[in-house]
Amino acid sequence: MKRNAAHWTPLVTLAAAAGLTPAVVFGADYLSVAQAQKAMFPDATAFVAQPATLTDEQRKALSAQAGTRVNPALWNVFAAKSGDTLLGYVIADAVIGKFQLINYAVAFGPDGTIRDMEILSYREEHGGEVRTRAWRRQFEGKTGAAPLQLGEDIQGISGATMSCTHVTEGVRRLAVYVQTVLARK
Amino acid sequence: MHRPCSIPSLTAIAAAVALVVSPLAHAASPAPTQKLEAKLDQMAQQLLEMRGELAQLKQENVQLKAQQQQQAQTSQQTAADQATLKSQVDATSQSVQTALAKPSPLDNLNIWGYGEMYYSRPTRQSENTRADLARGVFGIGYQFDDKTRFNSEFEIEHGVTSSSDPGEFEVEQFYVDHKFNDSLSGKAGLFLIPAGLINENHEPTNFYGVTRNFVETLIIPSTWREGGLSLSGDTKFGLGWSAGVTTGLDLSKWNFTPTSPLYTSALELQNNSVAPMQATHQEMALANAQKLSGFVSLNYRGVPGLTVGGSVFNGGTVKATPDMGSSQRVTLYEAHARYQPGPWDLSALYAHGSFSHTAEANASAAATAAANGQSLTNPMPASFYGWYLQAAYNAHVGGYRLAPFARYEKYNMAASYEGVGSGFSMPNGFAVPHDTVYTVGANFYLNQNVVFKVDYQRFKINRDFSRIDLGLGVTF
């Protein structure tokens, strides 16, 4: 037993050290909504809350277009402004991964193009890779007109299919909303 | 209200002007008088016109006032409506929040499950056709807080479990997981070893083909779990790692002297625990834990759709026979890659395992067998390996997903023997422990939780194992 422990100690320590080094952010939340807003629109002077109120018909139309149920109850919609100039929108939302809530935020240009996507908190056991820049970057430049479908224009993460599917669906709903409701104004 | 002007007072002024002017008119000569009269008439006319205009103004003023009042009323009404609406919305959201906040022990409970059924028909030996409820698995999880979670899975294999039936009831997973921070978590209990592409993601919707591939059944044990402690984490650039200390194998479970074939079909090959590690892992059933094992696994997922990784498992084991002097170790390593560009799903895996001191183990077992009038019919292999290449294409057809696939795989459960004569060969009727298998088939996804499967598998050496399979898989 002693020999076994000695055999493995260096490897375990090495692996633990490799993982610990970049782990500087503690706590359940990776980013707060305010931090995400600032990171997404550094030039904005104000983020004006703009609650999403949808009529039943609008909701049905959006659901049909997005291909998933739309429920804006969890959405936190903000208009990013610099003085009177509209820079775009930030929407914070949450979806269930496999069991746990995944909080994320999406930044849109005034025309409804996705500028950025951030994972605010991720609690699932597997699939933490949705936080990598490489995975999130897949959404950039797309609009509600894109498929925004896992296995089509968004590649999944092996072992975290549920989390990837649900985040992608969430982003699609927001993109369709921004494109058809906000960007039209 | 103040009146800016009124018609009676203007009339009075006009009359006064007329009175002042008329004596002057009389005093004047007739011609100027006529002129004055004409002027007076003109003024009277103008006065009348003014009166008319004033009346109109007054009327407009009244209308305007009425409109203003109406507008004020409307806006008051709107404000009142908005207030009512707001209070209604507030009340609703409050009641929703109250309902959500209502503490219930069930809020933290998760239940899930998966299962699969096979119909397996060997094309050359249809008497071995079997229909099997291969497994029904139900999971129960409990979230203690944001960071700590309990997971468990319970499995019933082959439909009926009793002393006279083929089924088994097993605890597949039973562990506590704790997140120390975003990038580091730990596990304690009975958990799946992170080896290969399927072991940790073995739900039927996650792999192609009715049954799991042979390499990840015979070389890497299928649903392989051990008891112990592990740490795992991920990094911002997409490298995930896991390392742990666990229970290991009991090589004394190896059957050196079977008198009849241990398996006569592909399904039995997968089910009968005949493979080196499948036959000797302990699954925490009163596991002999004198010797410990350890593992390290790495997976890079920094490019969307790509997984490249590998793992090593190494540990001391319970030795094969009590008579042998040396203690034995097991080493299993594997490397894998999976790439899913768009609808394509391409994967490759290589796995290699070895047991140490098998010459001594086989010699010792042979001596015991000879003393009992038996012979060594199934020596313990020194090494075993397998690999496969697989390609699948996910087509979306009318809201359904159809994924045809093809796989080429090789397994060798006894790549080398030690301590057996070079002339050793399997007894007659025993299947060769290595083969090449070609599989073609398709997964048809009714939705992401339900899959129907069909495949044809061709065995190159053990040709009687070639078969057609049908399957149904469910996960939720």
Mean pLDDT, rounded, of chain A? 83
Confidence at residue A66, expressed as pLDDT on a 0 to 100 scale: 81
**Is B304 strand, coil or helix?**
coil
Lowest-confidence pick of A148-157, B167-176, B260-269:
A148-157
Asked if the model's pLDDT at residue B4 lies above 60, the reply is no
Asked if the model's pLDDT at residue B1 lies above 50, the reply is no
Confidence at residue B14, expressed as pLDDT on a 0 to 100 scale: 53
Query: Which of the residue ranges A17-26, A128-137, B179-188, B380-389 has the most confident prediction, judged by mean pLDDT?
Result: B380-389
For every residue of B256-296, DSSP letters joined together read S--SS-S-SSHHHHHHTT-STTTTT--TTSS---SS-EEEE
Compute the average pLDDT of residues B370-390: 95
pLDDT > 90 fraction of chain B, expressed in percent and rounded: 69
Confidence at residue B17, expressed as pLDDT on a 0 to 100 scale: 52
Name residues 90-129 of chain A within 8 A of B (Cβ).
99-100, 122-123, 125-126, 128-129
pLDDT > 90 fraction of chain A, expressed in percent and rounded: 45
> Which stretches of B303-355 are assigned E, i.e. beta strand?
306-316, 329-339, 344-355
Alpha helices in B141-299 (DSSP H): 266-271
- Domains of chain A: which residue ranges? 27-182
Compute the average pLDDT of residues B107-127: 95
Minimum-distance CB partner of B141 among A99, A133, A135: A99
Mean pLDDT, rounded, of chain B? 89
How many CB contacts within 8 angstroms connect chain A with chain B?
141
Asked if the model's pLDDT at residue B195 lies above 60, the reply is yes
pLDDT > 70 fraction of chain B, expressed in percent and rounded: 90
**Is B188 strand, coil or helix?**
strand
Confidence at residue B92, expressed as pLDDT on a 0 to 100 scale: 67
Confidence at residue A61, expressed as pLDDT on a 0 to 100 scale: 84
**Is B369 strand, coil or helix?**
helix
Lowest-confidence pick of A152-161, B47-56, B77-86, B115-124:
B77-86
Q: Do A158 and B338 touch (CB under 8 A)?
A: yes
Quick: pLDDT tens for A5-26: 445 555 555 545 444 443 333 3
pLDDT band of residue B449 (cuts 50, 70, 90) is very high
The two three-digit tokens of residue B250, written as one number: 């009991």
Name residues 40-69 of chain A within 8 A of B (Cβ).
none
Compute the average pLDDT of residues B227-235: 95
Quick: pLDDT tens for A43-97: 999 999 988 888 888 888 888 888 778 878 778 999 999 999 999 999 999 998 8
Nearest to B340 by CA among B392, B297, B404: B392
pLDDT band of residue B3 (cuts 50, 70, 90) is very low
Confidence at residue A104, expressed as pLDDT on a 0 to 100 scale: 94
**Is B179 strand, coil or helix?**
strand
Confidence at residue B98, expressed as pLDDT on a 0 to 100 scale: 60
Compute the average pLDDT of residues B319-339: 96
Which of chain B's residues have a Cβ under 8 Å away from the Cβ of A129?
234, 238, 240, 301-302
Which of chain B's residues have a Cβ under 8 Å away from the Cβ of A11?
243, 294, 296
Nearest to B318 by CA among B225, B247, B249, B256: B249
| Chain A CB within 8 Å of residue B206 CB | yes
Which of chain A's residues have a Cβ under 8 Å away from the Cβ of B448?
161, 165
The two three-digit tokens of residue B127, written as one number: 């008497």
- How far apart, in whole angstroms, are the C-alpha atoms of residue B53 and residue B7? 10
**Is A64 strand, coil or helix?**
helix
Minimum-distance CB partner of A23 among B112, B147, B181: B181
Compute the average pLDDT of residues B208-221: 98
| Chain A CB within 8 Å of residue B314 CB | yes
Q: In this predicted model, which residue has the larger pLDDT, B164 or B89? A: B164
Asked if the model's pLDDT at residue B27 lies above 60, the reply is no
Handedness of CA A154, A159, A161, A162 (dihedral sign): negative
CA B93 to chain centroid, in Å, comes to: 30
Confidence at residue B48, expressed as pLDDT on a 0 to 100 scale: 86
Kindly give, in sequence order, each residue whose CB lies less than 8 Å from that of residue B28, ignoring residues fewer than 6 positions away.
Answer: B36
Confidence at residue B103, expressed as pLDDT on a 0 to 100 scale: 66
Minimum-distance CB partner of A19 among B96, B241, B244: B241
Report the relative pairing of strands A101-108 and A85-96 from DSSP bridges.
antiparallel
Lowest-confidence pick of A121-125, A169-173, B99-103, B465-469:
B99-103
Confidence at residue A22, expressed as pLDDT on a 0 to 100 scale: 38
Asked if the model's pLDDT at residue B311 lies above 60, the reply is yes
For every residue of A73-110, DSSP letters joined together read GG-EEEEEEETTEEEEEEEEEEEE-SSSEEEEEEEE-T
**Is B361 strand, coil or helix?**
helix
